[in-house]
Amino acid sequence: MPATEISNDRTEWSKVLTPQRGWLEIRWKELWDYRDLIGLLVRRDFIATYKQTVLGPIWFLLQPIFTTIIFTIVFGRIAKISTDAIPAPLFYLGGLVMWQYFADCLNKTSNTFANNAALFGKVYFPRLVVPVSVVITNLLTFTIQFTLFLGFLCFFMAKGAPVAPNFRIIVLPVLIVLMAALGLGAGCLVSALTTRYRDLSVAVSFGVQLWMYGSAVVYPLSNIAHEWRWLFVLNPMVPIIEAFRFAFLGAGVVEVWQLGIGAAMCFAILFAGIVTFNHVEKTFADTV
């Protein structure tokens, strides 16, 4: 049947599976087609966390409260690090709530391949669905912790503390998007690399901790000498946290161009992360 042979060759294939995928060949449409799965994974993770922990969502409140108490004692009372004249608990809690969201995104997405090996070995769906759902799930935790922060803020304002939330709080959604991008990007990058280098996964949680100390969580940027500030601005988390404090507490050293550089870096890392992740996902199943 030569006629059918010819027509077969002209067939429009909906998918061609080849050994290598181009570095920039990212199937955005497919990711969009699986948006329902993202939603259901978010729901699953939320229900699972809620049901499996004894204290439920209370846990999300205890963690920042205790860390704030410890920071207030260690960095505020003992080390006597300046908090820009802001009440110490408010200063630390603000930084922590923001930092926690980023750190959770990074920590949880960096285990994507290791944690989902069984699932990924049995069925295909765009693997990016998983880290994206993690970033969204973490928003729920963030909301709980942010509400706690607002409670603290009201309490301290009622007591007449020198804090001044201002119109700049409208920048919050932008800051969240930047942190999500940075956490997702760095997490994707790490998870792609850990499929090749197992020893890297050990370094991640340790690295995230170190990163916090370089991110103006326990000290204000104003504490850093002028000639070194440019170095801190290279860390996108510094302008994000400073901007948050500036908007909600009225004290912080941040300029629009710094936030601009931070944003550019966040999206550069997000892009690098997604590209690397996309490249690895094709052969990941062979390495576990």
Partner 1 sequence: MSVVIRAENISKRYRLGVINRRMLYQDLQSGWARLRGKEDPNRPVSHNGARVEGDDTFWALRDVNFDITSGEVIGIIGRNGAGKSTLLKVLSEITAPTSGAVKLKGRVASLLEVGTGFHPELTGRENVFLNGTILGMTKAEVRSRFDEIVAFSEIEKFIDTPVKRYSSGMYVRLAFAVAAHLRPEILIVDEVLAVGDAAFQKRCMGKMEQVADNEGRTVIFVSHNMQAVSTLTHRCLLMNDGRVTFDGPTDQAIGQYLREGAVEEHVYVSPPDGEEPRIVRAEVVTSEPAYIQSTGKTMEVRFKVHVPRAMRDAAISFQVMNAYEQPVMHLWVFDSGLPLCQETGTVELVCKVPKLRLYMGKYTLTLHFVAGSRRLQMVERVCAFEVVLYGQSREIDWQPGACAYLEEATWSAAERTTSC
Binding residue (CB under 8 A) for partner 1 from 2, 6, 8, 167: 8
Classified as helix, coil or strand, 126 is coil
Distance between CA atoms of residues 279 and 197, nearest Å: 15
Binding residue (CB under 8 A) for partner 1 from 29, 52, 54, 158: 52
Contact between 47 and partner 1 by CB under 8 A: the answer reads: yes
Structure tokens at 156: 């301290």
Contact between 6 and partner 1 by CB under 8 A: the answer reads: no
Dihedral of CA atoms 144, 44, 212, 193 in degrees, nearest 10, equals: -170
- Which residue's CB is nearer to partner 1, number 206 or number 228? 206
- Which residue's CB is nearer to partner 1, number 118 or number 158? 118
Could you tell me if 188 and 109 are in contact, meaning their C-beta atoms sit under 8 angstroms apart?
yes
Q: How far is CA 155 from the centre of its chain?
A: 28
> Rounded to the nearest whole angstrom, what is the least distance from the CB of residue 40 to partner 1 in the complex?
5
Structure tokens at 137: 């799930």
- Non-local (6+) Cβ contacts of 108 within 8 A are 134, 138, 187
Contact between 121 and partner 1 by CB under 8 A: the answer reads: yes
> Rounded to the nearest whole angstrom, what is the least distance from the CB of residue 280 to partner 1 in the complex?
11
Binding residue (CB under 8 A) for partner 1 from 22, 23, 32, 40: 40
> Rounded to the nearest whole angstrom, what is the least distance from the CB of residue 266 to partner 1 in the complex?
25
Contact between 196 and partner 1 by CB under 8 A: the answer reads: yes
- Which residue's CB is nearer to partner 1, number 18 or number 167? 18
Q: Which stretch binds partner 1 (CB under 8 A): 142-150, 162-170, 173-181, 191-199?
A: 191-199
Q: Which stretch binds partner 1 (CB under 8 A): 74-82, 117-125, 233-241, 249-257?
A: 117-125
- Which residue's CB is nearer to partner 1, number 169 or number 210? 210
Contact between 51 and partner 1 by CB under 8 A: the answer reads: yes
Contact between 11 and partner 1 by CB under 8 A: the answer reads: yes
Contact track, partner 1, 12-31, x by CB under 8 A = xxxxxxxxxx----------
- Long-range pairs, 91-95, Cβ under 8 A, ≥24: 91/220, 91/245, 91/249, 92/67, 92/68, 92/217, 92/218, 93/64, 93/68, 93/148, 93/149, 93/152, 94/149, 94/241, 94/244, 94/245, 94/248, 94/249, 95/216, 95/217, 95/218, 95/241, 95/244, 95/245
Find the binding residues for partner 1 in span 198-257 (CB under 8 A).
198-200
Distance between CA atoms of residues 156 and 96, nearest Å: 17
Distance between CA atoms of residues 61 and 2, nearest Å: 71
Binding residue (CB under 8 A) for partner 1 from 69, 79, 119, 231: 119
Q: CA gyration radius for the chain? A: 22
Distance between CA atoms of residues 136 and 39, nearest Å: 9
> Rounded to the nearest whole angstrom, what is the least distance from the CB of residue 166 to partner 1 in the complex?
42
Contact footprint for partner 1 (CB under 8 A)? 7-8, 11-21, 33-34, 36-37, 39-41, 43-44, 47-48, 51-52, 119-125, 193, 196-200, 282-288
